[in-house]
């Protein structure tokens, strides 16, 4: 029961369809998609030259380096897609987390993950040893931070988890995030000079709220109270790549609600992820904005893979397997979703899986972007086989 494909979604409300995207910070989606596919094809051509090459352009940017530990910040140059400019803590100092405790969210101890993420300066955060971090309250991140779990087995689990709130330039790489629960209403410090009252959190693994330039890569996520990764309230410039998702119902929400049109400028790339066993729906569910979902591997999906709201345009090349419809038109009558532009290209459908083509066609810009080829569906398994947290040893490539 697998689904391997590249999918391009341009989700437009009637308001956005009638108006151009006005924000000066919005990237040209056609150019970004072209660059993603150019990098995929370049990595594929280089497979014969790199003994550790995978054809995955993100991994091939840094994983061939046996000295990755001394060159950790090289990772910041390797993102693709809409979140490619997320630099995290690049050029900042290395902060070593040595204490797994989280006793005081208002005055966190130096050496803890919470103390690291609230600092005002750029930081590249690593871990001294394997650890399980059970957060007392949600971990509210400050801008220009990288959480880099390479070289240690790091679990954030059993309590509240990670919140990116009105922040920018965040990289989260190489950690396990699971069994997250809602955090109670509490006072939480979010910078050295500010602590404030936060209402109860939802229990997301990673909650992205009104934030931009965010990259979540090579994490393993499962079994949280709400979503595994949710991005809402005007968040944009996001890449979610190389992650392993398992055992969860509503996996990923991109866009707060059909009525929240401030999400019209949201742009996100979902690439090279493995949506594994025990997942039900929302891989992702997309609303307003522009979403490029490319070369992901879906296994054992129970209800649907891709969900849409608003008035979406959707193009899908890939390899679905399972006797169900791949997509779901959420919260809309057939008279409405019949007008949405959903397209499937290059799919290999197995065991009765099907993709319902709807709509009269797409804009010329959308059509040009969707005509680009991702890696063939038969090869998607090879570039997602190492999704999730990597086992990285000193002196050898990951």
Q: Given the DSSP bridges, would you call strands 289-299 and 2-11 parallel, antiparallel or unpaired?
A: antiparallel
Give me the residue label for tokens 């990772």. 75
Is 44 known to be catalytic? no
Give me the residue label for tokens 């993102």. 79
How long a stretch of residues is the chain? 398
**Tokens found for residue 270:** 């979902």
**Tokens found for residue 327:** 């997509």
Would you say 137 and 108 are in contact if contact means Cβ atoms under 8 Å apart? no
Round to whole Å and give the CA distance between 383 and 6. Answer: 13
Closest CA to 258 of 157, 337, 358: 337
| Residues near 232 by beta carbon (within 8 Å), at least 6 away in sequence | 208, 209, 253, 254, 255, 256, 260, 263
Write down the catalytic residue from 282, 285, 343, 375: 282
Give me the active site residues, please.
282
């Amino acid at each position: 029961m697998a689904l391997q494909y590249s999918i391009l979604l341009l989700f437009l409300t009637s308001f956005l369809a009638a108006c151009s995207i006005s924000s000066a910070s919005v990237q040209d989606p056609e150019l970004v998609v072209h660059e993603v596919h150019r990098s995929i094809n370049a990595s594929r051509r280089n497979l014969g030259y790199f003994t550790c090459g995978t054809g995955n352009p993100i991994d091939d940017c840094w994983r061939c380096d046996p000295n990755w530990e001394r060159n950790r910040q090289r990772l910041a140059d390797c993102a693709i897609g809409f979140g490619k400019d997320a630099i995290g803590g690049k050029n900042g100092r290395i902060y070593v987390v040595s204490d797994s405790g989280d006793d005081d969210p208002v005055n966190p101890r130096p050496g803890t993950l919470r103390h690291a993420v609230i600092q005002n300066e750029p930081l590249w955060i690593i871990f001294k040893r394997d650890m399980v971090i059970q957060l007392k309250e949600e971990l509210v991140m400050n801008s220009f931070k990288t959480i880099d779990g390479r070289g240690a087995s790091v679990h954030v689990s059993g309590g509240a988890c990670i919140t990116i709130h009105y922040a920018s330039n965040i990289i989260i790489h190489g950690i396990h995030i699971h069994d997250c629960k809602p955090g109670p209403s509490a006072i939480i410090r979010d910078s050295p000079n500010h602590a404030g009252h936060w209402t109860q959190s939802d229990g997301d693994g990673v909650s992205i709220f009104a934030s931009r330039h965010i990259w979540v890569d090579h994490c393993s996520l499962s079994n949280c109270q709400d979503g595994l990764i949710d991005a809402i309230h005007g968040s944009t410039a996001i890449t979610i790549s190389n992650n392993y998702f398992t055992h969860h119902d509503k996996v990923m929400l991109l866009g707060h609600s059909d009525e929240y049109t401030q999400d019209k400028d949201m742009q996100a790339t979902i690439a090279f992820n493995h949506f594994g066993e025990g997942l039900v729906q929302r891989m992702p569910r997309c609303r307003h904005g522009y979403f490029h979902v490319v070369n992901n591997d879906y296994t054992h999906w129970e209800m649907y893979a891709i969900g849409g709201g608003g008035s979406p345009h959707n193009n899908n090349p890939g390899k679905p397997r399972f006797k169900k419809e791949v997509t779901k038109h959420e919260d809309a009558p057939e008279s409405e979703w019949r007008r949405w532009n959903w397209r499937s290209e290059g799919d290999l459908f197995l065991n009765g899986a099907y993709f319902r083509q709807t709509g009269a066609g797409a804009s010329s810009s959308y059509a040009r972007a969707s005509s680009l080829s991702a890696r063939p569906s038969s090869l998607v398994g090879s570039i997602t086989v190492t999704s999730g947290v990597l086992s990285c040893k000193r002196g050898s490539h990951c």
